[in-house]
Structure 1
Amino acid sequence: MNLLDTRLQRATLTPTLLDLCPTPDDLRGDVLAGLASTPKTLSSKYFYDARGSELFEAITRQPEYDLTRVEIALLQDVMPQVRDAVGGDAHVVEYGSGSGRKTQLLLAGLDSPVAYTPVEISREMLLASTQRLAQAFPDVQMLPVCADFTQPVPVPPSLMPAARSLVFFPGSTLGNFDDVQSLDLLRAMRETMGDDGAALIGLDLVKDVADMEAAYNDAAGVTAEFTLNLLARLNRELDADFHLDAFAHRAVWSARNSRIETSIVSRRAQVVHVAGHAFAFDADEAIAVEISHKYTDAYFDDLARRAGLRVVRRWNAPASRFGLRLLESA
């Protein structure tokens, strides 16, 4: 069978799901443990119910939050260089796929990618995004994996042999993990891509403090609504009695930790009930809900080194507002 016949055969395939049966989220257990801790915490992964996902998309359209627009423009500008650095016949493995716009730019810009494997813990979201991309790229084999990407993920073999695996992790998601978690994730990424593979990672970079804080405190209040929607979700799903007007969104820059730290702050002393448990809040007491790390090259290079990786190419947006980094095994 020649190359053309192989591609034609692959084009007739429907996406083949590899379901690793990831452990489902324990919303109740995580919330009760987080609110009982000192300081109180709630995981940012629970922001994204249906309303939360709508609000996040609205955040990306706010004038203060230009990260998504800047990253897309950067990827468009440097895609020929990315293509040359990655080489042909790559098997693209993406951690989460979101709207798929960046994925489309990557697959369209690479030299004859042979397969695409999105890794996503939500089976429904995974299948929906894969079906959309299958229609846009009928000659790229779709091999979705339902799994937790913070653990090493086996890359399904493609019908047409791949020259190398390319892990794609756009956006600024890496910055939402603390140092220990980031290191674990990069090590898992290295194992997933293999010794001959590569990874293309998006990084939000350190810039003017006022600009960074404004991105998480937009004038229209969309980010505040997004943050407080987490409490609305707990009211609905865990029989909680949070009064949303008794809490406030707060996002501030921590120079010591090089990150934006987002909290939900109690406006007054109060007691809140969640799933039959009572939690007392002091006035101005904060629930930590999200961190958004901003990187320097020195910091990220050291993090990559400790994970067994090295940065081989760097691309920055104008004024170094955002960066793309290509990594290989050290």
Structure 2
Amino acid sequence: MTQPALSPRFSSAFAEAVHAGLSRHPQKELPSMYLYDEVGSALFEVITALPEYGVTRAEERVLKAHAGDIVDALPANVKVAELGSGSGRKTRRILEALCKKQPTAYYPIEISRTALQLCHRELGDIERVSIVGYERDYLAGLAEVSGKRNKGEPLLVLFLGSTIGNFARLAATKFLRSIRGMLEPGDALLLGTDLIKPLPMLIAAYDDPIGVTAAFNLNLLARINRELGADFPLDAFEHVARFNPDARSIEMHLRATRALSVRVRGADLRVDFRQGETIWTESSHKYVAEEVAPIAVDAGFECTHQWRDEEWQFAESLLVAR
């Protein structure tokens, strides 16, 4: 999630990423992090309430049942940093359990200012919690939080939901190693992983019948129009969700329904699309629960505890830095 130095050719990292992604051949792609502008963040909150999307409810069940167990496994006086806090709703159980034992400093890290504002509103009523948000990418924000703590202060990093699934397998391990590089032995990472399940359930979760996920995906093109002066005709693209069995992942694409040419002024780009050509916007890799422990070891952690939801097949794993 760290960004390279910005080229002087572009006014923003977004413009540079759009230029690079839409210039790729043979598969155009856009980073999934840019789905979450103000509109995208609001639409994703709606997605989490859809009956077809069970990830959020599964995690809430796990945290409701086991927040006390999770807190009991942590060192005293732990600080909490969360990578991609979203609205903060899923984090409430852990913070409430912690605050029963100690005043707790909580640092949500988000690229979406809207999400940080929602997080403050959602969690600001918890007694004995202090909230300081960081509008950063994940690793830059974590580096700042970790670097500011006093020597010997333990840190719990939350990486909840199924966000680790947005990384390809090797990239996920590399990302976990980067997190480990900012931690001290004994620090912890609570990692959410969505587990493999029957294909119809997976497809429905990413292509709901009322079209909220389609709107979420198409908003990325609308954002490019708004922020970069592009002329994407939104009615010329359709949302597609498909399963990649080799990667064990759901892929989201935007497919051109006709041949067309698009100009993106703010990214210094004109791009042509063939009918049926797609832009790959997101992947969500699915896991089996037993593979988390060896991945953790490879990244410099030990998986000491794991809690599962059997209704949706979801796992929350506590990884301790070695």
Task: State the Cα distance separating 1:135 from its structure 2 match.
Answer: 4.2
Give the distance between the partners of 1:61 and 1:123, measured in 2 at CA. Answer: 21
Alignment-mate amino acid for residue 112 of structure 1: Q
Distance of aligned partners of 1:124 and 1:236 in 2 relative to their CA distance in 1, 3 Å threshold:
closer
Give 1:227-242 correspondences, 5 Å limit.
Answer: 227-242=217-232
Distance of aligned partners of 1:46 and 1:146 in 2 relative to their CA distance in 1, 3 Å threshold:
closer
Give the distance between the partners of 1:43 and 1:203, measured in 2 at CA. Answer: 20
Task: State the Cα distance separating 1:315 from its structure 2 match.
Answer: 0.5
Give 1:65-80 correspondences, 5 Å limit.
Answer: 65-80=53-68
Distance of aligned partners of 1:71 and 1:162 in 2 relative to their CA distance in 1, 3 Å threshold:
farther
Could you say what secondary structure the match of 1:242 adopts?
coil
Of 234, 259, 282, 1:244 maps to 234
Residue of structure 1 in register with 2:41 after alignment: 53
Task: State the Cα distance separating 1:261 from its structure 2 match.
Answer: 0.8
Deviations 1:170-226 (A, max 9, x none): 111111122343223211222333111111111111111110111001010110111
Alignment-mate amino acid for residue 29 of structure 1: E
Give the distance between the partners of 1:124 and 1:219, measured in 2 at CA. Answer: 27
Give the distance between the partners of 2:113 and 2:47, measured in 1 at CA. Answer: 25
Residue of structure 1 in register with 2:73 after alignment: 85
Of 162, 166, 183, 2:173 maps to 183
Alignment of 1:221 onto 2:211:
yes
Number of equivalenced pairs: 306
Give 1:1-330 correspondences, 5 Å limit.
Answer: 26-38=13-25, 39-110=27-98, 111-122=101-112, 125-126=115-116, 129-130=119-120, 133-137=123-127, 139-151=128-140, 153=143, 154-155=145-146, 156-157=148-149, 164-275=154-265, 277-319=269-311, 321-330=313-322
Task: State the Cα distance separating 1:60 from its structure 2 match.
Answer: 1.1
Residue of structure 2 in register with 1:8 after alignment: none
Alignment-mate amino acid for residue 76 of structure 2: G
Distance of aligned partners of 1:133 and 1:63 in 2 relative to their CA distance in 1, 3 Å threshold:
closer
In the superposition, the TM-score normalised over structure 1's length comes to: 0.84
Give the distance between the partners of 2:264 and 2:244, measured in 1 at CA. Answer: 30
Could you say what secondary structure the match of 2:182 adopts?
helix
Give the distance between the partners of 1:118 and 1:55, measured in 2 at CA. Answer: 20
Unmatched 5+ stretches in structure 1: 1-21
Give the distance between the partners of 1:57 and 1:135, measured in 2 at CA. Answer: 20
Task: State the Cα distance separating 1:74 from its structure 2 match.
Answer: 1.2
Distance of aligned partners of 1:210 and 1:305 in 2 relative to their CA distance in 1, 3 Å threshold:
same
Residue of structure 2 in register with 1:4 after alignment: none
Distance of aligned partners of 1:73 and 1:319 in 2 relative to their CA distance in 1, 3 Å threshold:
closer
| Native 8 Å contact 2:242 2:250 kept in 1 | yes
| Structure 1 range deviating more: 268-277 or 116-125 | 116-125
Give the distance between the partners of 2:178 and 2:164, measured in 1 at CA. Answer: 13
Alignment-mate amino acid for residue 288 of structure 2: T
Task: State the Cα distance separating 1:324 from its structure 2 match.
Answer: 0.2
Give the distance between the partners of 2:20 and 2:308, measured in 1 at CA. Answer: 40
Task: State the Cα distance separating 1:41 from its structure 2 match.
Answer: 0.7
Task: State the Cα distance separating 1:255 from its structure 2 match.
Answer: 1.1
Query: If you compute each CA radius of gyration, which structure gives the higher value, 1 or 2?
Result: 1
Distance of aligned partners of 1:221 and 1:147 in 2 relative to their CA distance in 1, 3 Å threshold:
closer
Seq. identity, %: 38
Could you say what secondary structure the match of 1:83 adopts?
helix
Task: State the Cα distance separating 1:264 from its structure 2 match.
Answer: 0.6
| Structure 1 range deviating more: 264-273 or 177-186 | 177-186
| Native 8 Å contact 1:166 1:193 kept in 2 | no
Could you say what secondary structure the match of 1:193 adopts?
coil
Give the distance between the partners of 2:60 and 2:132, measured in 1 at CA. Answer: 24
Deviations 1:129-176 (A, max 9, x none): 347644423x33444444432355142336xx9762111111111111
| Native 8 Å contact 2:86 2:118 kept in 1 | no
| Native 8 Å contact 1:88 1:113 kept in 2 | no
Give the distance between the partners of 2:279 and 2:114, measured in 1 at CA. Answer: 30
Task: State the Cα distance separating 1:114 from its structure 2 match.
Answer: 3.7
Give the distance between the partners of 1:213 and 1:85, measured in 2 at CA. Answer: 36
Give the distance between the partners of 2:86 and 2:312, measured in 1 at CA. Answer: 24
Alignment-mate amino acid for residue 278 of structure 2: A
